[in-house]
Chain A
Amino acid sequence: MSDDRGARAPRLESGDGGDEGMSPELARFFDAMRPYLAGEEPPRRFVERLGPSPSGERRLSVYPRLVALDWIGVIDKLYEATRYAIESHFDGLARIEGGKSSEPGKSAWRRLRAELGRAHPPTHWDINEYGRPFPEWIASRRDSGENLPGFVDQLADFEWLEFSTWSAPDVPAVAKGDRPIVEPTVSVRQYSFPVPAYARAVRRGEKPPAPAEKATTVVVYRRADTLLVHLFYPSVAGLLVLAHATGEVDADTLAKAGVTPDMRKSAENALYEHKILRRETTPGAPA
C-alpha cells in the first residue's frame, strides 16, 4: 500500500527523472485540475483559473462526476453488507453534532461515502486500495459522534478482511520446527457481533435484521485447493492449538490452559479437516 495516502505529492520539477520539462502553462493546468477533479472546486472556478473550454462548463462538470462515481463504485462493491446495514437499519440516523437532526439511512450512506473521499482520497494505482482505510475511518466517525452502532465498523473490518484474504499474495506455507504447518492466509478476529454471518447473508441476497450482540471468534482463510475464502469458528482449544501452530503460544501454555493431549489432537484434526493446518508445505518452499 502506498504510504503517501492523502498527502499532496511534491510538485514535479522540470526535467524530473528524464521527462522533457513541463511548460508553465501545462503546470498551471495540472494545478487547477486537482481540486476540480476532486470536486473541491466547481467547474466555474476551474474556468476562472484557466479560461473557458470550447465545450462549456456543463461538459467540464462531467469529469468530477465520473471521478466521484468511480470512487463510489469501489466502496459499494467492497462494502456491500456495510452499505446494506447503514441503509436498512438506520433510518432516522441522528448526527450528534447537529443535536436533533436526523437523516434516512440511504442519505447517511451517501454522505459517509463522500466524507471518506474527502478524508482519504485515492492515492494508489489499485482502486481497491481506496477501500483499505474505510473500516478504521468509519470507527473513528462513530467515536467522534456519528450515531453508528458498534457492529458497523466490525462489519466493515470483516468485509475488508474477506477481500484482502481472497486477493492476498501467494506466500509459501512453511514448516516451523515440529509445529503443524499453517495456511499462510489465516487471520483470527474476535468480534462482539456475529458480523461474518450477517455479511454472508447480505451477499446471498438475504435481508438480515440487525444482529444482536454476541461474542464471535472466527478464523478467516483462503483454502489452497479452492482459493475461496472460508470461515471457521474455533473452540477455545482450537484457538489455542492454532496459536501454538503459529508460534504465538508454546506447548507449556497450552498445557497450563487445560488443553489435554486428547483435546489437542481433536482440535488439530478439526483444523486439518478444514485445511487451516496443512500436512505439506507449498511445493518448493524452504523446509
Chain B
Amino acid sequence: MRTKLQGAGIGLRRKHFKEILETSRRIDWLEIIPENYMGYGGRPSRQIDECRERWAIAGHGVALSLAGPDPLDTDYLAKVEAISQRVEAPWFSEHLSFARVHGLQTHDLVPLPFNRDATRWVVSRIRRVQAALARPFLVENVSFYAVMPGSDMHELDFLAAVLEEADCGLMFDVNNLYVNSRNHGYDPFAALDRIPLHRARQIHLAGHRDEGDVIIDDHGSAVCEDVWALYRETIRRAGPIPTLIEWDANLPTLDRLLDEADRARAILEEAG
C-alpha cells in the first residue's frame, strides 16, 4: 500500500535503486529529481514505477532556471508535469535562483541580486510556472556565497516578498538557512522569525562542507548538530512538516541515510 507524503523521506538515488526495494526499514516517502528520469527508459523508468507503488513521491527540480534570463523551457516544464502525474506528486519544487544564462547551463544554482527588479522578474516567472503545472509549486530558499552587486534587500526579505507576491509555497531548506547565516553573519534562530513558515509544505535537511572562509552546501555529509537544533526549533514553531534528507555527494549506505531519516521522524513525532 502506498504511503502518504508525511513524516521523513529520502531522495531516490541510483546507488540505492536495488537496495531501497529490498530494505525492511521504514521509509515514509521519496523525493525524485525529475531531470534524472525525464526521457530515460530502462532501470530509471522501471525504478520510479516500482517505487510509486509503495511510497508517495515528490518532485524537486534542479535545472528549470526559475530566475534566469532565458525563456522558460515549456518542453522541459511539460516533461516535469508528465513525470509528476506519473508518480502522482503532490507538488513540484525548484530553487529561487538561476542555472541557465544566455544559453549556458551552469548546473549550479546562482542567486539573483536581492532587489525589487529581481523580485518582479522572478515573480512573473513563478506565475508562468504555476500556470504550466497542475499542482502546487514550491520555491526553495537557496544557499548563496556572495551577495550579488545591485542588492539592496536582505535575502530573507527578498524571499518573503517573492513568496508573498507570487502566492506560492515554500520548500524550506533548513541547512541553507544555516549555511547562509554562517556565510553572511546572522543568527539563524532569529532569522526564523522572518521566514514565512506558514507557506512551508516541505523541508530539506542536508550536510555541508566547511572550507574555513566559506561554508559550501554540498549535500555530502550527515546533518550537523547545529542544523538539527535549528530544525527542531522550526518544527516546534511550524508543526510537523514533511521532511527530506538530501544527500547527493559521498552518498552513504542506505542504512546510514535512513538513520538520518529516523532522527528527523523522531523530531516530527515529538511535535505530534
Contacts and interface: CB of A to CB of B under 8 A. Distances in A.
A34 B71 contact: no
Nearest to B117: A23
Interface stretch (B5-13, B38-46, B225-233): B38-46
A12 B249 CA distance: 34
A7 to B, nearest CB: 6
A185 B149 CA distance: 50
Nearest to B123: A20
B104 A30 contact: no
Interface string A54-82: 11101110110011001100100000000
A18 B128 contact: yes
Contacts of B39: 126, 169
B149 A53 contact: yes
A285 interface: no
Interface in A28-62: 29-31, 33-34, 37-38, 47, 50-56, 58-60, 62
Interface string A135-175: 00000000000000000000000000000001111110000
Interface stretch (A107-115, A116-124, A206-214, A250-258): A116-124
Contacts, number: 154
A26 B100 CA distance: 15
B124 A9 contact: no
Contacts of A11: 102
A17 B131 CA distance: 13
A11 to B, nearest CB: 7
A228 B148 CA distance: 46
Given A126-B35, A167-B44, A227-B42, A54 B147 contact: yes
A167 B108 contact: no
Contacts of B270: none
Contacts of A29: 112-113, 148-150
Interface string B109-143: 01011000110110111001000000000000000
A253 B124 CA distance: 63
Contacts of A178: none
Interface residues of A, number: 59
B4 interface: no
A263 interface: no
B110 A7 contact: no
B253 interface: no
Contacts of A126: 35, 38-39, 63
Interface in B47-86: 63-64, 68-73, 76
A9 B150 contact: no
Contacts of B147: 53-55
Given A22-B121, A51-B150, A122-B107, 9 more contacts: A12-B69, A19-B71, A25-B117, A34-B102, A55-B145, A55-B184, A63-B146, A167-B41, A167-B44
B42 A222 contact: yes
B146 A59 contact: yes
A249 interface: no
A16 B124 CA distance: 11
B107 A70 contact: yes
Contacts of A54: 147, 151
B104 A123 contact: yes
B272 interface: no
A27 B69 contact: yes
Nearest to A57: B146
Contacts of A38: 104
Contacts of A51: 149-150
Contact of B101 (A4, A34, A60): A34
A4 B71 CA distance: 14
A8 interface: yes
Contacts of B22: none
8 contacts: A12-B71, A26-B117, A30-B68, A34-B101, A59-B146, A62-B145, A67-B107, A125-B64
